[in-house]
Structure 1
Amino acid sequence: MLSVNHLSKSFQIHHLNKQIAGIHDIHFHVEAGKFLGIIGKSGSGKSTILKCIYRTYTPSAGEILFESKALGTVDLATCDERTMMHIRKHDIGYVSQFLQVMPRTSVLDIVINAQLEMGIDYETAKAEAIKTLHHFGIEETLFDNYPNTMSGGEKLRLNIARAVVKAPTLLLLDEPTASLDHASKLKVREAIERLKANGTTLIGIFHDLEFMDGLCDEVLDMATLKGVAVND
């Protein structure tokens, strides 16, 4: 499903005329349907790995070989933007602590639109959106609201709903439960377990190690800078 080989990312600080290393020579392999957890202290590069996979960051070196349903093997580190846009729409989901959406788009439309861009018809998308929002405890009174009227926890649950409703081939989770209460965390865990049971591959970062217990098949510890192969 995903092979990361010798992945490195550095950042140029122009006003200081210096480079800062984010990650260096990271390698790991994840089989389809498995869950790789990434742990490590703040600043160790966990989020940088996910952002390189999603191509929010362009890697400085290395390759990220991903098996796309429609396109076959693609190197996410070097593919063109059009290819990357297709993969984001149809293959890879990304959940962070922060919700980024088009302004003046309602809560319900955000989750519907996530499916429409995959070619799902409107009525099916709407029904699944309502079901998913209910699962994450978002009240129907909020469906027509804009996200900027919601609390931080509600935004985070909406962000997760938008990602999981697409049932992506690969789901990247960057601290998705950071500001959630216990009940909401359980909802996220249920959704992750359901996605995994249906064959979704996952890579996740969680500071809450108790939450990860029983979810992950293998763990990549940034302190060791060693990749972990996740195999059947």
Structure 2
Amino acid sequence: MRMITVENLHKSFMIHHLSRTLPALQDVSLHVPEGSFLGIVGKSGSGKSTILKSIYRTYEPQKGKILFQSEAYGTIDLVQATAREVVYLRKHEIGYVSQFLNVMPRTTALELVEQSLLDLGVSRAEATPKAQQALKHFDIDEALWNSYPNMFSGGEKLRLNIACAIVKEPRLLLLDEPTASLDQASKLKVREAIEKLKANGTTLIGIFHDLEFMEGLCDNVFHMEKMQGKELV
């Protein structure tokens, strides 16, 4: 079964001060079977992140379909989904990891990971030890668990971001350069967590400049320069 199907996706951006439109995606089609991992590669500015942000509905495409097999809604076109449906899917079914951490102020690292689980309906008694286990896995010092992440280093913020997304074990996980600022030991932790999610049935789409990291991890690779206007089969 296909977990996600992208059909003829178009996305452009209006540059108002130049009065011009900049195309980002033109006629992109791809699909990802349930439980598999699709890697997206291409040069900077080729539209890799735009695909992920369109699926997550950070961006609204001008044309095309993004069909997602939702547990709650059945087959749903994410391009046409309502704001309420998008919020539900982000909370319960679709995870997103970027290079950047955007958090609520006065929320500790432990509270952030706990909240990811509380959103799913997990009790606090169960959420706390799971959150602690996730923080340990990504080598976030226990002394930082009750600290505010705005004081963390870039690598610590990224590892926390990954912990918040992965602890939920989403049905679909979008990864936008999740290892960009990590050392080799931290990259191995991320790979281990991804492999575990994949083994448990999570479908993944990821962007990596580190092609060595992708080796043996992805089931298929979408090349932006080669595949725009063609369908991934």
Q: TM-score range by the shorter chain?
A: over 0.9
Alignment partners' CA distance in 1, 2:23 and 2:225: 15
Q: Where does 1:18-167 land on structure 2 (aligned, <5 Å)?
A: 18-167=20-169
Deviation track 1:84-128 (CA, whole Å, cap 9, x = no partner) reads 000000110000000011011000000000111111111111111
**TM-score normalised by length of structure 1:** 0.97
Shift of 1:17: 1.4
Deviation for aligned residue 1:18: 1.1
Name structure 2 gaps, 5 residues minimum: none
CA positional deviation for 1:180 = 0.1
> What is the CA-CA distance between 1:70 and the residue it aligns to?
1.2
Percent identity between matched residues is 62
Q: Structure 1 residue 227: deviation in Å?
A: 3.6
Give the equivalent residue in structure 1 for 2:212: 210
CA distance in 2, matches of 1:38, 1:163: 19
Deviations 1:178-221 (A, max 9, x none): 00000000000000000000000000000000000000000000
Q: SS of 1:219's equivalent?
A: strand
For residues 182 and 200 of structure 1, the distance between their equivalents in structure 2, rounded to whole angstroms, comes to: 24
Provide structure 1 residue ranges, at least 5 long, that are not aligned to the other structure. none
State the aligned residue count.
229
The two structures have a TM-score, normalised by structure 2, of 0.97
Pairing of 1:152-191 with structure 2 (within 5 A): 152-191=154-193
> In the alignment, which residue of structure 2 is the partner of 1:228?
232
Aligned residue type for 1:147: P
Matches of 1:165 and 1:39, distance apart in 2? 26
Q: Aligned-pair distance for 1:13?
A: 1.1
RMSD: 0.7
**Local SS of the residue matching 2:102:** coil
User: Distance between the aligned counterparts of 1:227 and 1:159, measured in 2?
Assistant: 32
